[in-house]
Amino acid sequence: MALPTKGRVIIDTTAGEIDIELWSKETPKTCRNFLALAMEGYYDNVIFHRVVPGFLVQTGDKTGTGAGGESFYGDPFEDEIHPRLRFAHRGLVAMANNGTRNSNDSQFFITLDRADELQGKHTLFGRVMGDTVYNVMKIGETEIDKKTERPIYPPKIQTIRIIDNPFPDIVPRITAAERREQLKVRQQAQREREEADRRKGAKKNTKLLSFGADEDAEEEPVVFAKKSMFRPDLVDNPTSGVTIPSPLAPLSAPTNQPNSTSKAEESKTSKSTRDKELDITKIREQHANEQAAAQNSRRAEIEKMEAEIRKITKRKTGEDSDEESSKKKVKKSYLEEELSKYAKGRGLHKKAKDGRKKDESDVLAALNSFRGRLQGPMVVDDLDDEANNEERGDTLVADGPGEEAGIEVDNDTGFLGHALHFPKDNTEETDKAERDYEVIDPRQRGARAREEERERKKLANKGKGGGRYRR
């Protein structure tokens, strides 16, 4: 049973809430320091700067380096080692120090497992309650730099809410709201200084395009470097006798007399142009011929394939052409030949002695009528024998006027409606089985044999004792 304690806080972190129970009776000075710093908002936005997987997570340093921190008392305070408080399991809250005794300030850690090696070296002042210990384990699984044991993306304490304060006489030096306002003012001043430094050291580049921010800056005219263009085909104009000078050629006075050299060049140029046009025409004609030949060959292949498909279709449907039917004779299969032989020997095709076919229509009619009776409804009548005989048509008729009646005519059709019936209860057969058949149980036989053996021994002992006479 846990002893009653006084003191409880909830640490809101980026990994979730951590509910901590404080042991203010065993460690009053440490708990007072922790609660006072929480009231002042000292732990707000402080990161977990050290994570040792499977051992502990550490926080409480305002600088985030692990080398800072200050206590509520101004100077580091002494340890409060209690003999009944031990590092026996995970979720225990203790003060961190610099490796020497009595050097506690604001840093604290939470264990992730049993830590007997910390016993007597650190002040244990609380424990994590309930399921919030899993949030501590989540912080312990954060990705870290193995050399420095520092998280790459460190979790952060957002704020600490005091649920139960066992020290109502604590007077904070500054409230958490005032500390937040001071932090905002400090951050705003820092931003203003950085903005001023940025404006002071910035230089305007007037060569860049302006979008309205630097309207006062003078814009320099953009000079584009022109590249000289030279077209040999435009230098000499074959239609006129005047030569057009190129931009790179030196200017000379125009002459009215055409030059013989220019005429030769003109003739060469026109000849080469005509040759090129002829070559292009030949190439186009050759390409058109190739395309036409390819189309013709493709059309021929398509027609050939269509003809083959038509042949295959005719073979499947049995619609051969007249020429193929005249050339090929239809061959009968072995089954058809045997069926034709059987049909020839059937009674239907037998002829009477006079040469005419035998009429068997009456036989077929009788078979059809019999088949109809069989397929008709089965009617079961529970009439007496005479009524049944009358309904069946079993009558005794005389063969003639002078003969006696007594000849039975076979006109019984009642058998078609006969049904098989069994009695509802079979007590007669059951009684017969019980009477005629004996059920032998091996256990009863064994018990009976043992009983007979005891009776036999009893009688034997009685016979032996009967010859003695006791006075």
**49, 122, 127, 150: which one is catalytic?**
122
- Here the tokens at position 294 are 């390819």
Active site residue 349: no
> What gap in Å lies between CA 220 and CA 326, rounded to an integer?
102
**86, 97, 158, 392: which one is catalytic?**
97
Active site residue 58: yes
- pLDDT tens-digit series, residues 188-221: 888 888 888 888 876 555 555 545 544 454 555 5
Its pTM stands at: 0.43
**50, 90, 127, 150: which one is catalytic?**
50
Active site residue 104: no
Predicted pLDDT at 466: 54
- pLDDT tens-digit series, residues 48-73: 999 999 999 999 998 888 888 889 98
- Here the tokens at position 341 are 């032989």
**72, 77, 108, 109: which one is catalytic?**
109
Q: Which CATH superfamily is domain 8-187 in?
A: Cyclophilin-like (2.40.100.10)
Phi, psi of 442 (to 5 degrees): -60, -35
**86, 118, 167, 179: which one is catalytic?**
118
Other Cβ atoms closer than 10 A to 135: 19
Active site residue 287: no
CA 226 to chain centroid, in Å, comes to 64
Between residues 93 and 274, which one has the greater pLDDT? Answer: 93
> What gap in Å lies between CA 40 and CA 59, rounded to an integer?
17
Active site residue 107: no
- pLDDT tens-digit series, residues 162-198: 999 999 888 888 887 788 888 888 888 888 888 888 8
Q: What is the 3-state secondary structure (H, E, C) of 61-113?
A: CCCCCCCCCCCCCCCCECCCCCCCCCCCCCCEEEECCCCCCCCECCCEEEECC
**55, 158, 179, 180: which one is catalytic?**
55
Sequence ranges of the domains in the chain: 8-187
**8, 22, 58, 104: which one is catalytic?**
58
Residue 407 has pLDDT above 70, yes or no: no
Active site residue 55: yes
Work out the pLDDT band at 11, boundaries 50, 70, 90.
Answer: very high
Calculate the alpha carbon distances from 45 to 51, 158, 180 in Å: 17, 5, 10
How many residues are listed for the chain in this entry? 471
**What one-character-per-residue DSSP string does 410-422 give?**
----GGGG-----
Residue 94 has pLDDT above 60, yes or no: yes
Task: Give the Cα-Cα-Cα angle 172, 174, 178 (nearest 5 degrees).
Answer: 140
Active site residue 122: yes
> What gap in Å lies between CA 37 and CA 77, rounded to an integer?
14
Element (H, E) at 57: strand 56-59
Helices and strands (H and E) in the chain: how many: 10, 13
